[in-house]
Structure formats: C-alpha cells, structure tokens
Structure 1
Amino acid sequence: MSIPSLDHSESAIVTRLRTAGCVFAEDEAQMIMSAAGNAAELEEMVERRVVGLPLEHVVGYAEFRGLRIEVDAEVFVPRRRTEALVHEAAQLTPARGAVVVDLCCGSGALGVALAAALEEVELHAADVDPAAVRCARRNVTAAGGEIYEGDLFAPLPSGLKGRVDVLLSNVPYVPTVEIELLPAEARDHEARVALDGGVDGLEVMRRVVAEAADWLAPGGVLLFETSERQADEAVAAVTGAGLHARVATDDELDATVIIASRSDAPAP
C-alpha cells in the first residue's frame, strides 16, 4: 500500500506553522518555500521550524536594514531593534574612508550594514565564537572586510589602535540569571556567549569601554546596545572609563543605544 505524500501547499504549511505557535505563519511559510530547493528540503525546513528553531536558522539568513545576512545554526540572530544602533552610527560616520570595527560581531550584520550605508569603509570584525566567525567571514568578506577570531580587542591588528572612527560593539547584556527567562528560540538555539552579560549584564561592556579609548581615533565613537533599565549604569561605566557618553533611544524599535567618545574629543 502506498503512503500518501505530505501536503506541501502553502495553506498546509501555514496551518502547521500556526499550530506550532508561529504568529506570522503566512510570511514564514513564504520565506521557507522560497528558500527550499526541493520537496524533501522543504519538509525538513518546515519540521525544524515547527519544533522551535529560529526562522533565520531554518532559512539560513536574516533580513537586517534591507540586507540579507547569512546566519548559521547556533549563531546569534541580528535583532531588528539593533538597526537603531547602525542608524546612529551612520549619522556619526564620515561618508568616505571611515575605519569601522565590529566587536562581538556574531554574523557580522552591524559592520556589513554600516558599510552598506556609507560610500567607503575599512571594515574589521571580531568574535570569540568560532561558529560566529565562520558565519561572519562570508558576510564580512563579501563586504570587503576582514574577520578575526578572539576575545574582544585581542585578535585585532595593533595598527588599528588610535585609528578607529566607529567601534560597534553589540555586547551581550542579559544578566546570567535571566538567560532562562529568554524565549526558547534564543535560549536553546543561540550561543550562550552571545547572550550572557554576566551578573548584572554589563560585564562584557565594561571590558570594552576600559580599552576603547586606546583604539578610537580623535573624534571616533563607540556604540553599543543595552536595555532601558541598564542605561544609567552603562553611562556611569562609560564615564568612569574616561569617555563622554549619551543615550539615544528609538521607541518604535524599543532600542536603547549608548554612544561614547574619547574625552579629548567633542561629546557625540
């Protein structure tokens, strides 16, 4: 007796996704169907989404500021709110020839998006997670940049010291005890090193600001994301490290961005 083939019509896939709790089932079905190369791959992708994998890991990319950023399994998925950080950086960056460094780069989305917004940049990116570096290499290299593996500033070429116009550092800022409260898509499928900011969520950020002045060019800026409730403490850490600081917010994206500059340069 033959076994009936699975129904891979769009309506059937939408129903499966909606039953699994996918709020935007119609949009997700279209993305999955477009990404699948054949029926077997389509079924595998639908099943992976149904059991809870992030959509971006299923289709292999994330949309970020109008760009398609490749995202591998277990790599941090760039959030839409982080587009506010890139927007702020673009307003502060020379249109041509800027030196941009993307620390804790994950997929490389921030540096790639900023490079796309400007005419010319010298782009460098780094991450401590080998899986993230492998993923970012494809995105960053395609944008003409260089990628390094290591802890924060350690793997960067020493020749960048004092030359960085824009330092993007999307540091992890979730307090350790709150990791288990995150949605399962993040908690179970993204690298913990990309989420865990230590006891108060600001431990990695403090390490970045402690060294940032050595790497920034005169007039250069450091930008990182945090939560609204952490903003005051983050600003205190920045000023404690001898940098100027201000807070930019985007209510539509629910984003809070800290912008810092060297104390010998005008406040950003």
Structure 2
Amino acid sequence: MIVSTPSAAGPVLRVAGVDVVRDGAHLLRSIDLTVRRGEHWALLGANGAGKTTLLKLLGAVTHPTRGAVEVLGRRLGRVDVRELRSFIGHVDPRHAPDGPLRLGEVVLTGLTNTAALVPRWSPAAGEVERADRLTAMLGLAARRDARWDTLSQGERGRALIARALMPRPRLLLLDEPATGLDLAARERLLASVDALRREHPSLATVLVTHHLEELPASTTHAMLLRGGRCLVAGPVEDVLTTGHVSACFDHPVRITCEDGRWSARAGAASSAAARR
C-alpha cells in the first residue's frame, strides 16, 4: 500500500467509535475525536486513563480493536503506516540517540526517523539550513554543536521538537514533553511550543500531560479521559472546569486560568480534610 502526500482538506485526525482491547481488558471505549488544522489539543487524565493508548492510535503506531481511525485522511488498516508516519512529528522525551551525537545531528535525524545518522547519508544544504532555523527558533542556536550527553533535560526537550519538525509534518504529537523539567526549563519549553504554533498556523498538535500547569497558552481544545472513556471534549475553556476536572481525577480541585495558563488547586472538600 502506498501513501500519497495527504490532502490538506478535511480533518487532520478523525476517531469514530473506537475501542482498544488488549488481553481482554478495555484500554479505550467508544472514543470519538476530530482534530482540524490549526487546532491544539490536550489529552488529560490520571495514570491508566488511556492517554498513551490514544496517542499511539493518532500516531499510526497501533490499530483499534473496533471503530475507525483516520490520520491525515488515511484510514488505519487501509494504508502503509510506515509511510504515513513520515507526515507525523512525534516528540517523546524518552527518545535516546544512538551514538555520541551533537544537538544539530540529532535534529537532522528527524529527516530519516532514526536514532542515529544513517551511514553514507548526507543532508542537503537546504535541510541543514532548516535544521539551523528550527534550532534557533527554539532558542538553541548557541548549543547546536553541544554533545547530547552535556545538554540539560530542557534543552533536549526543545531539540526533540526541532527534530520532529524537520520533515514538515502536518501533525505534531507531544507525549508529556515537560516530564522531568524544573520550573524554568518547563516555562522555556512551553514558550517554545507557543512560538512554533505561531510560526506554523496550520499545524495541528496533540499534547499529553497529567498536569494543567504544563499546558501551553496556545492550547485550543482538550479531552478528559477516565478509565478509557472520554469524560468530556471540546474547546478548552468548556472542558477545563472545576467540575469536569474534579470528576476526571476523582478529587475535588479548583481550576483557574490566567493569560491562557491553567492551574489546579485543592478544592473545598480536600482543604477541609487537610485541616482535620
């Protein structure tokens, strides 16, 4: 099966009536989701809610047990997923380069979707220029020649975003990109995500996190998952309410938003319990 360049028309992602069952256990039940160009979705939920399973479907890594998943207009099960993945950028903070690579070299491996530089392969001059532009856009120009093992976790996270953008994807998936970052590194990462969304207005993104504080201000939509089911999905301001988030995590919290940044604090019930 051959994948032609996906059409820009229609949704970037469409999930309809999807179940995922593994070893008799339902990981996802009756999931529906549509993501369009320029939308920036967040998937939130407690551990085991199904976020990672859903992200793997969206990234054409796994197939549903039941239902339909269309990625860039191509239905899983009817398409060469290896080629389809070349149109998807995936940021995984657990990515480990193979060999003693420098930051700029890791960014270039996004063109070959490999952990190491491919033997006897050389990027074109325009590709090197693109890698340098992305590196600079993400605030890493001065670290281009630094060895990977000398970079901070935050620098690695931003470098992996540049790597994912190298093949000019229409869809960018971010799997808990702020994992392990301190406050300053997290804020630099989120500012970089906001910047790239401004630079690429048609790019669609889906970000997975446990924490509202890790959502970029440019987030437009959200889905709350609990026990493999969608609790609520839609525009972010309609989804991230005190009632919805408290129900999602089965814990009373108070949700606030200031300048597009979200936070959760203990709700009245849990505050009273803390005083007892």
Shorter-chain-normalised TM-score: which range? 0.3 to 0.5
Q: With structure 1 as the length reference, what TM-score do the two structures score?
A: 0.32
Q: With structure 2 as the length reference, what TM-score do the two structures score?
A: 0.32
Identify, as 1 or 2, the structure richer in helix: 1
Higher relative contact order (CA 8 A, sep 6+): 2
